[in-house]
Amino acid sequence: MKNTIAGILLAFVVVMAPMLGSGILLAKPEPNSAKTQQPHQWTQWRGPSRDGKAYAKDAAWPDSLSETTLVEKWRVPFAPSYSGPIVTGDRVFTTETRDGKQEVTFALDSKTGEKIWQQSWDGAMQVPIFAIANGNWIRATPAYDPQTDRLYIAGMRDVLVCLDATTSQEHWRVDFVSKYGTPLPAFGFASSPLVDGAYVYVQAAESFIKLDKLTGEVLWRSAIDPGAMNSAFSSPVIATLAGQRQLVVQMRKELLGINIADGEVLWSQKIQAFQGMNILTPTVWGDAYLFTSAHSGRSQLWKVSVENGSYTINEQWQSKAQAYMSSPVVVNDHLYLHLKNRRFTCLDLATGEEKWRTKPFGRYWSLVAHRDKLLALDETGDLRLIRANPERFELLDERHLTDASSWAHLAVVGDEIYVRALDELVVYRWR
């Protein structure tokens, strides 16, 4: 029982970060593909394409994190949050849970850190008693839509709020608990919203939901999945697989492909789950492949195929490597993955071969890749700069950036690194 509680407690912490062969090209989601990425923006969970990659045309990162190379730009205190920061050029957005009662969204000047506006609502809730030491604060990362200049924030009590990013005016909100009569998710709204075209998608109300991004009208509700914790811990992506653009959604115990138009489940695959939880964001490789890894299971590569209109999904390989909390990144057909045992590994996606494995480094890493380098921020505030080298682990530099716990995902925009620690937002710039 003690080990079970410890495992659930660790899962609770990460969801606040709220908290995953040869010659095949990465299928970039639209409209978040490389051709439509905008410089100086980090608009959603895990960056421009939701895959942990910085803007493709940014300059190469330096080889150093030294105080003369990476300089602090500004630092602003906040109440607790596990939401990753959102950067839209001249503004940065972050959240907090204030006095255990209210959820607050802030807009700041990205040059100075000056607060421009704040908007709040009643939104606090109590998590299970065994996890209370890790707090009740907001954890999903907001999504920004440059087409409408709107911000979409997932509140703890299964509420989605749409704000004007310039004025803070609330355009609409949807309370999914009230709408569907579903219970509060045990650990709050942990999955981060996805904006695509005219719509916003969320894993909420024990299901997957498509809404009109302008009005908040629910257009369909799919993949209803009641059960343990009443929560989703992963965040969805959009990819073209087997010739069809579709939503890829990791539910608690199943990996799904969902038709964007009508919510039909195109294919499904059971995935081993720890206490009803799968946390990693699905990793897309090429035009047919998906990588998953489970806490108490294994790492697997799946191929999605279609013949005569019928979809199949088949395992291509499996590995004993067990991830848990940290979604991986892909560089040159190799996958870089932080494991449950706190080690870091590189897997050849074509074969599943483990190229190397390191000593333990932290319980959680948020990973960002750019060209041939990786940035990895652990939960203690240590940042590591790593060469993406499948032949050996190559640590270029490391530096302690904040004394507060840092479970929120990194944001990297041009030559700037945004770190949302538990009680502050800190920005660094490479010279």
Q: What domains can you pick out in the chain, each with its CATH number?
A: 2-430 (2.130.10.10)
DSSP-based helix, strand, coil % in the chain, nearest 5: 5, 45, 50
Tell me, what's the pLDDT at 225? 87
- State pLDDT tens for residues 285-338: 999 999 999 877 899 999 999 999 899 999 999 999 999 889 999 999 999 999
Q: Spell out a b/e string for 103-133, using b for 16 or more CB atoms within 10 Å of the CB, else e.
A: bbbbbbebeeeeeebebeeebbbebeeebee
Stretch (H or E) spanning 64? none
Confidence of residue 13 (pLDDT cuts 50, 70, 90): very low
Does residue 50 contact residue 65 with C-beta atoms inside 8 Å?
A: no
Q: Which residue has better confidence, 273 or 340?
A: 340
Confidence of residue 160 (pLDDT cuts 50, 70, 90): very high
The CA distance from 244 to 222, in Å, is: 18
Mean pLDDT calculated for residue range 88-92: 95
Tell me, what's the pLDDT at 229? 67
DSSP characters for 84-122? PPEEESSEEEEEEEETTTEEEEEEEETTT--EEEEEEEE
Tell me, what's the pLDDT at 276? 67
Tell me, what's the pLDDT at 133? 67
The CA distance from 192 to 204, in Å, is: 10
Q: Which residue has better confidence, 354 or 123?
A: 354
Does residue 393 contact residue 345 with C-beta atoms inside 8 Å?
A: no
Mean pLDDT calculated for residue range 167-178: 98
- 178 — phi, psi (to 5°)? -70, -40
Does residue 247 contact residue 226 with C-beta atoms inside 8 Å?
A: no
Tell me, what's the pLDDT at 1? 45
Tokens 């302008």 map to which residue? 214
Confidence of residue 25 (pLDDT cuts 50, 70, 90): very low
Q: Record the tokens describing residue 176, joined without a space.
A: 């999914």
Decide if pLDDT at 19 tops 50: no
Decide if pLDDT at 55 tops 70: yes
The CA distance from 97 to 155, in Å, is: 10
Does residue 144 contact residue 93 with C-beta atoms inside 8 Å?
A: yes
- State pLDDT tens for residues 191-243: 999 999 999 999 999 999 999 999 999 999 999 988 766 777 899 999 999 99
Mean pLDDT calculated for residue range 246-274: 94
E strands, 251-380, are: 254-259, 265-270, 283-285, 289-293, 299-307, 310-319, 329-331, 334-338, 344-348, 354-357, 365-370, 373-378
Q: Range with the lowest mean pLDDT among 251-255, 289-293, 365-369?
A: 251-255
Query: Average per-residue pLDDT in the chain?
Result: 90
Does residue 282 contact residue 234 with C-beta atoms inside 8 Å?
A: yes
Decide if pLDDT at 21 tops 80: no
Tell me, what's the pLDDT at 173? 98
φ/ψ region of 187 (left if φ > 0, alpha if ψ in -120 to 50, else beta) reads: alpha
Residue type, 208: F
Decide if pLDDT at 143 tops 90: yes
Tell me, what's the pLDDT at 26? 29
Query: Considering the entire predicted model, what is its pTM?
Result: 0.91
- State pLDDT tens for residues 104-119: 999 999 999 999 999 9
Stretch (H or E) spanning 427? strand 424-430
